[in-house]
Amino acid sequence: MKKHPLPDSTAEFDKMLTVSPNPHIRSRETTPSLMLCVIIALLPAAVWGVYQFGLRALMIMIVSIVSCVCAEALSALVLKLKFSINDLSAVVTGLLLALNLPVSVPLWMPAVGGVFAIVIVKQLFGGIGKNFLNPALCARVFLFSWAGEMTYFTTPKTALPLFSSDIDAVSTATPLASLNAGALPGIPIIDLFIGKQPGCIGEVSALLLLAGGLFLIIRKVISVRIPLAFIGTVFALTYFFPLGDQDVHYAVASVFSGALFLGAFFMATDYTTSPCTPIGQIIYGVGCGALTVLIRYFGGYPEGVSFAILIMNLFVWFIDKYTKPTPFGHVKPEKPKKPKKAKGGEAE
Amino acid sequence: MSLTFIGGIHPRENKNAKDKPIELLPPPESIRLSMSQHIGVHCTPTVAVGDHVYKYQCIGKITSGLGVPVHSSISGTVKEITKSVTPDNVEKQTVIIENDGQNTPDPSVRGFDGPLSELSAAQIIERVRDAGISGMGGATFPSYAKINSAAGKVKHLIINCCECEPYICANYRLMIEDPDAVINGAKLLMKALGLRRCDIAIEDNKKEAIRLFTKKLSGNQMFTVRKMKTKYPQGDERQLIFAIYNVMIPQGKLPADVGCVIFNTETTAAVFRAVAYGIPLCERIVTVDGDCVKEPKNILCPIGAPLSDLVDFCGGLVKPPKKIIFGGPMMGQAQWDIRSPVSKGTSAALLLSASATTEYEHRSACIRCGKCVGVCPMHLMPTYLASFSRTYNFDMCEKFGVMSCVECGSCTYVCPGRVPIVQLIRSAKVRIKENRAKKS
């Protein structure tokens, strides 16, 4: 009579059922899937870095990622945190750190940086989602303790040893050095956009970083607000207040130089260390852009993106607090309004 | 352009039974009628064990207070009156009736002789109350009380045909199979409320229903068909009123406070049947769906019928369910028994396997992506509410507007970290209410 496979005892059947509060369905997006999107978006710039700077760049990425993942696993054990390697966030941190280093750094530097980023900046604050500074950027700034290595940029396509830290190539100035001196860089702007200038492994190609950023925006992993506000502010400030007697070329060159695109699309948009309200994200982006230009113009080190983002990271809670959206139907002192004339027309 | 609100989500619609016509359930062997299928006081049984009852006979009455009576949906013998735990997980008195197979209707049930236009508002309200009609979309608020509280106060009547939850298509089938019942019910409600206008809000994924209603109501000055964007929670009264009239209901107030009253599609049709034919609410359309069901169907079934009968009628199970849900997957209630009876508010029964339903994870962690902030239809910041609730910081919860939360679950649906956000918010709300009660 009964067609469904109902066991004889109700108790047995009921043991198979889960009774839990609604909602009973979830979107298919998970933390690992979002992190995977970020990794995919970073790949073009990473591949370009290897193409421009040689296999040593790949070696740095590997060391950095392995260091981050191992640090995450070991610290989770020691600190009794959730085992979280499979959320791929350590891989993203490692990759971002490597992309933020010059190719000539000795290989122990990405290793030390990775441990610093994961253990000190992230895990000691409670793991993923609890840190208030961007781990990869913090590690990069930490590595500035070895300022010589961190500011030693070689020309692209220079043959470098794969493992040895014995670099005999000549250090060269990045385009930012001439920009901050009030002159246009010697490299044509189109080459800056494609990424043929010296610089950190992953920051040179604005084109490929833009492609990765657009991928993230289309997949709705990040919103366009932070990158647009960040880059827009840098462009506006360098356009209206150029160093020296420069025209729009100066602003365009400023935008395509240094770590701006990497920072705006991949570092400033780090979920944990950026505001989550729409207005807050715009304020944060503008703040990052303004600080970047200030540090570039007046700071001792030519690049300001990392410092700007880290400084703005510290303001995230206050930005969120003061840009809190008004709840729907928030009770104001005055009497509620009566419905006005209905908006919209008849259905088709 | 479809009308809509700010925020919200669009889960996979999964309306597998969309093209399945409504079918009548074969008479069940017995039914279990809970004495409280509505918001308000419980009914007192008016029958005793061994009594014979007719179909449509009133078996539970409200002696005082807010509530609606319960009617038998079959004819037969009262077998047992017992306390049992009903689908909404509260212990209530339940009358079990054994079917005699005769389906004899109560001889006292009579329609209204003469044209419906002669009915007065008070007569309509009385008939709606005696028919035991309560909101059939899931909230189960007694309809007569809603009319009473809104009459003279409101300017807009909205018939809510949004059905924004995945899977459910009971309202949609009703709209395209019996549009006249909905339209006539709306006319009666307008009469009872003293209104001359009515909006019918239909989501734009129900193209056939929009086409049909626009055609039927073209040239009719009283009705306006509103095309709503397919989005969850479009059917929520706050969002519906905002989308149509651009008015926000102040926190803690009701639709009537902004001059609106909303009725569900099926409730409206039930009002028509009750007023015109005197038939009380003892049948409803239930969408049986989910990946464990062989053939998803829309079933017109007697209230009180066990779900297992409905599942049999759908061809049985193809795999063991992980979850049985009464209602939609976003707002519905999980059941622990496949024999749970259908009640007045059961719009759907979903049997989902482990792959079709997702739980929160104990290893969940918020990555502060802010997706919940973007989807919250009440413009809250669920991520902060959840973390404040987790640390028992209820003052901050209140400052961040936790009491505005309507618990639609959009934040929890979208959370990539699988944080039980809405559950944490709920527990904060309960604690805050407790603390307030203690203080006063």
Phi and psi dihedrals of B326, rounded to 5? Answer: -95, 120
Chain B residues in contact with A31 (beta carbon < 8 A) = 365, 367, 416-417
Tokens for A262, please give them: 């990497």
Specify whether the CB–CB gap between B280 and B56 falls below 8 A. yes
Please report, as a single letter, which amino acid is at residue A206.
Answer: A
Phi and psi dihedrals of B97, rounded to 5? Answer: -120, 130
Inter-chain CB proximity A16 and B322 less than 8 Å: yes
Chain A residues in contact with B393 (beta carbon < 8 A) = none
Of B260, B335, B422, the CB nearest to A339: B260
- How far B115 CA lies from chain A's nearest CA (Å)? 30
Give the span between the Cα atoms of A209 and A46, in whole angstroms.
9
Note the pLDDT of residue B437. Answer: 92
Chain B residues in contact with A76 (beta carbon < 8 A) = none
Chain B residues in contact with A20 (beta carbon < 8 A) = 323, 334, 359
Mutation target to probe the A interface, by most A beta carbons within 10 A, among B240, B371, B430 is: B371
Of A23, A127, A332, the CB nearest to B422: A23
The answer to whether residue A320 neighbours chain B at the CB level (below 8 Å) is yes
Inter-chain CB proximity A22 and B356 less than 8 Å: no
- DSSP 8-state symbol, B90: S
Of B241, B320, B365, the CB nearest to A129: B365
Q: What is the pLDDT along chain B (440 residues), one digit of tens a residue?
A: 789 999 999 999 999 999 999 999 999 999 999 888 888 888 999 999 999 999 999 999 988 889 999 999 999 999 999 888 765 567 888 999 999 988 888 888 888 777 888 888 899 999 999 999 999 987 889 999 999 998 888 999 999 999 999 999 999 999 999 999 999 999 999 999 999 899 999 999 999 999 999 999 988 889 999 999 999 999 899 999 999 999 999 988 889 999 999 999 999 999 999 999 999 999 999 999 999 999 999 999 999 999 999 999 999 888 888 899 999 999 998 888 888 899 999 999 999 998 888 876 666 789 999 999 999 999 999 999 999 999 999 999 999 999 999 999 999 999 998 899 999 999 999 999 999 999 88
Residues 6+ apart with CB under 8 A from A278: A223, A225, A323, A325, B374
- How far A338 CA lies from chain B's nearest CA (Å)? 5
Chain B residues in contact with A72 (beta carbon < 8 A) = none
Note the pLDDT of residue A259. Answer: 92
Give the span between the Cα atoms of A46 and A134, in whole angstroms.
20
In three-state secondary structure terms, B334 is strand
- How far A76 CA lies from chain B's nearest CA (Å)? 13
CATH 3.30.450 is right for the domain spanning A31-322: no
Of A18, A278, A344, the CB nearest to B359: A18
The answer to whether residue A324 neighbours chain B at the CB level (below 8 Å) is yes
Inter-chain CB proximity A24 and B352 less than 8 Å: yes
Closest residue on chain A to B337 (Cα): A14
Chain A residues in contact with B378 (beta carbon < 8 A) = 327-329
Note the pLDDT of residue B405. Answer: 93
Question: Of the candidates B388, B410, B419, B390, which has an alpha carbon nearest to the alpha carbon of residue B401?
Answer: B388
CATH number of the domain located at residue range(s) B117-277 in this protein: 3.40.50.11540
Q: What is the pLDDT along chain A (348 residues), one digit of tens a residue?
A: 344 445 444 555 666 788 888 899 999 899 999 999 999 999 999 999 999 999 999 999 999 999 999 999 999 999 888 777 888 999 999 999 999 999 999 999 999 999 999 999 999 998 888 999 999 999 999 999 998 888 888 888 888 888 777 777 778 888 888 888 888 888 899 999 999 999 999 999 999 999 999 999 999 999 999 999 999 999 999 999 998 888 899 999 999 998 999 999 999 999 999 999 999 999 999 999 999 999 999 988 888 899 999 999 999 999 999 999 999 988 765 554 555 555 444 443
Note the pLDDT of residue A12. Answer: 59
* Sole residue written with tokens 């290893």: B363
Inter-chain CB proximity B333 and A22 less than 8 Å: yes
In three-state secondary structure terms, B33 is strand
Chain A residues in contact with B325 (beta carbon < 8 A) = 22, 24
Chain A residues in contact with B367 (beta carbon < 8 A) = 31, 34, 89, 128-129, 271-272
> How many residue pairs from chains A and B have C-beta atoms closer than 8 A?
225
Inter-chain CB proximity B416 and A29 less than 8 Å: yes
The HSE-up count of residue B424 (CA atoms within 13 Å, CB side) is 24
Inter-chain CB proximity A128 and B404 less than 8 Å: no
Cα distance between the two ends of chain A:
49
Question: Of the candidates B324, B348, B318, which has an alpha carbon nearest to the alpha carbon of residue B336?
Answer: B324
In the stretch 141-170 of chain A, residues with CB closer than 8 A to chain B read: none
The Cβ of residue B50 has, within 10 Å, a number of other Cβ atoms equal to: 8
**Domain residue limits, chain B:** 117-277, 371-439
**Domain residue limits, chain A:** 31-322
Note the pLDDT of residue B103. Answer: 86
Note the pLDDT of residue A332. Answer: 64
Inter-chain CB proximity A348 and B335 less than 8 Å: no
**ipTM score for this prediction:** 0.87
Inter-chain CB proximity A4 and B251 less than 8 Å: no
Note the pLDDT of residue B380. Answer: 94
